[in-house]
Chain A
Amino acid sequence: MTASPRAAHLAQLNVSTLLHPLDDPRIAPFVALLDPVNADADGAPGFVWRLVGDGGADATDLRPAGENVIVNMSVWETPEALWDFTYRSGHLEVVRQRRDWFDRHVEAHLVLWWVPAGHVPTVEEALERLADLRANGPSPCAFTFTSSYSADEAAAATYSDEAAATCAGAPLPE
């Protein structure tokens, strides 16, 4: 990666609680969209990385947040690139039908945070950010599309003494 040391990328995690098992016919329309939508993501402008399970094409076989909870995790060059993919591509058709397939989350189910370019976030790190968002609300360490923070704000928060505790698990600068 040729990015400068200060360059930051945006990481994203969302968790979805399945209403039925993945092999249930009622979930089949979702399963059918997985490959084409993931292919869209891989080719989308600003796409950097997404989580894939062992030997799989997606992360649906990983269940780090619960047996019936699937996770979706990726890294993007900018918030705009992630937003355009999430809501201005074939992916919108998936989220439009979310109530047919997934339980409604009372707590936050999507979290965004900045990572140094080149850093591949771990699932543990991602779940910590989600827990942070749920516990403390949006902050430069863990935020959402509607309450977002810039990479500079995140850097200031992460490496200042007072905020260091709230950004636990933040990767060190490259």
Chain B
Amino acid sequence: MEDIDAIAMLQDPVRRRLYAYVAAQGREVGRNEAAEATGVARTLAAHHLDKLTEAGLLASGSRRLTGRSGPGAGRPAKVYTRVLTEFGVSLPARDYRTAAELLAEAAEEAGLDAGLREAAHRRGEALRGAAAPCGDLAEALGVLAARGYEPHLEGGGDGGDDEGAAGGKAPVVRMRNCPFHAVAERFPPLVCGMNLALLEGLLGTDGPVRARMDARPGGCCVVVEDSKINDD
């Protein structure tokens, strides 16, 4: 299937809602859950989720959602996750990815990290325009979502998405998507440094929130937090 066919699958509004819901969870999602969250019948959700899987936009597996095993635990349920494959369409055909990789390779070889970070910081500030530095994490969620980072709030004592032993940590914004993923995987320090500088410019470095490098597997290398915490 061509990329344009896969993307055309998302033309259907129900399919698009289901895709957006699964993508936003960052984990396996069952049919019932997806149906309830998007307000459609289970059979319709199943039909569209399987269409999205056929198109390569979602991956499916099966798992016992009850967490039990053995007789009486029920049949494994079908679950879905968003695939990491990128889909892109450019009309007319353009290949910015190759250009980005070549520029990154040259910048890496020439050691241009500092210059790239300065340019990225300026671009971030330009994107912010005349606006004041980002005021709080809620505003940061909106700003980052608009730029494709797929942000979500983590921690904050709700226990929902918190990780690690230290419960009740101050809330932070983490991002499920790296908009520069392909180039960042090939030139991590260079491109992740660029990304951090871009976000520092976008959110402001002397305002109520700040961006900080906190890389972990699966997601953006940057975390956004309250400027007042962890100031040691």
A and B assemble together: yes
User: Which residue in chain B gives the minimum CB-CB distance to A86?
Assistant: B188
For the complex, what is the distance from the CA of A126 to the CA of B65, rounded to whole Å? 48
For the complex, what is the distance from the CA of A146 to the CA of B217, rounded to whole Å? 18
B104 to chain A minimum Cβ distance, whole angstroms, is 12
Chain B: residues with Cβ within 8 Å of the partner, total of: 16
Known: A84-B217, A88-B216, A90-B215. A96 touches B192 (CB 8 A): yes
- Is A98 in contact with B189, judged by CB distance below 8 angstroms? yes
Known: A84-B217, A90-B215, A96-B213. A146 touches B186 (CB 8 A): yes
What are the residues of chain A within 8 A of B217 when measuring CB–CB? 84, 88
For the complex, what is the distance from the CA of A99 to the CA of B112, rounded to whole Å? 9
- Is A92 in contact with B189, judged by CB distance below 8 angstroms? yes
Tell yes or no: A89 within 8 A of B by CB.
yes
- Is A87 in contact with B188, judged by CB distance below 8 angstroms? yes
A90 to chain B minimum Cβ distance, whole angstroms, is 7
What are the residues of chain B within 8 A of A84 when measuring CB–CB? 217
Tell yes or no: B50 within 8 A of A by CB.
no
User: Which residue in chain B gives the minimum CB-CB distance to A104?
Assistant: B111
* A79-94 Cβ-contact flags toward B at 8 Å (1 or 0): 0000010111110110
What are the residues of chain A within 8 A of B215 when measuring CB–CB? 87-90, 92-93
For the complex, what is the distance from the CA of A146 to the CA of B189, rounded to whole Å? 14
* B104-133 Cβ-contact flags toward A at 8 Å (1 or 0): 000000010110000000000000000000
User: Which residue in chain A gives the minimum CB-CB distance to B214?
Assistant: A90
What are the residues of chain B within 8 A of A87 when measuring CB–CB? 188-189, 192, 215
A50 to chain B minimum Cβ distance, whole angstroms, is 19
Tell yes or no: A65 within 8 A of B by CB.
no
What are the residues of chain A within 8 A of B218 when measuring CB–CB? 88
Chain A: residues with Cβ within 8 Å of the partner, total of: 14
- Is A99 in contact with B216, judged by CB distance below 8 angstroms? no
* A86-128 Cβ-contact flags toward B at 8 Å (1 or 0): 1111101101101100001000000000000000000000000
For the complex, what is the distance from the CA of A151 to the CA of B214, rounded to whole Å? 31
For the complex, what is the distance from the CA of A87 to the CA of B111, rounded to whole Å? 18
For the complex, what is the distance from the CA of A46 to the CA of B114, rounded to whole Å? 32
Among B179-202, those with CB < 8 Å from A are 186, 188-189, 192-193, 196
What are the residues of chain B within 8 A of A98 when measuring CB–CB? 113, 189
- Is A92 in contact with B114, judged by CB distance below 8 angstroms? no
For the complex, what is the distance from the CA of A87 to the CA of B217, rounded to whole Å? 9
What are the residues of chain B within 8 A of A146 when measuring CB–CB? 186
For the complex, what is the distance from the CA of A146 to the CA of B213, rounded to whole Å? 23
Tell yes or no: B221 within 8 A of A by CB.
yes
For the complex, what is the distance from the CA of A33 to the CA of B203, rounded to whole Å? 26
- Is B113 in contact with A99, judged by CB distance below 8 angstroms? yes
- Is B189 in contact with A89, judged by CB distance below 8 angstroms? no
Contact of B193 among A89, A90, A96 (CB under 8 A): A96
B183 to chain A minimum Cβ distance, whole angstroms, is 12
- Is A93 in contact with B216, judged by CB distance below 8 angstroms? no
Top 8 closest A-B pairs, CB basis? Answer: A87-B188, A104-B111, A92-B215, A95-B189, A96-B193, A88-B217, A93-B213, A88-B215
Given contacts A99-B111, A99-B113, 18 further A-B contacts (CB under 8 A): A84-B217, A86-B188, A88-B216, A88-B218, A89-B215, A89-B216, A90-B214, A90-B215, A92-B189, A92-B192, A92-B213, A93-B215, A96-B196, A98-B113, A98-B189, A99-B114, A104-B111, A146-B186
20 contacts between A and B (CB under 8 A): A86-B188, A87-B188, A87-B189, A88-B215, A88-B216, A88-B217, A89-B216, A90-B215, A92-B192, A92-B213, A92-B221, A93-B213, A93-B215, A95-B188, A95-B189, A96-B113, A98-B113, A99-B111, A104-B111, A146-B186
Interface residues of B (CB under 8 A from A): 111, 113-114, 186, 188-189, 192-193, 196, 213-218, 221
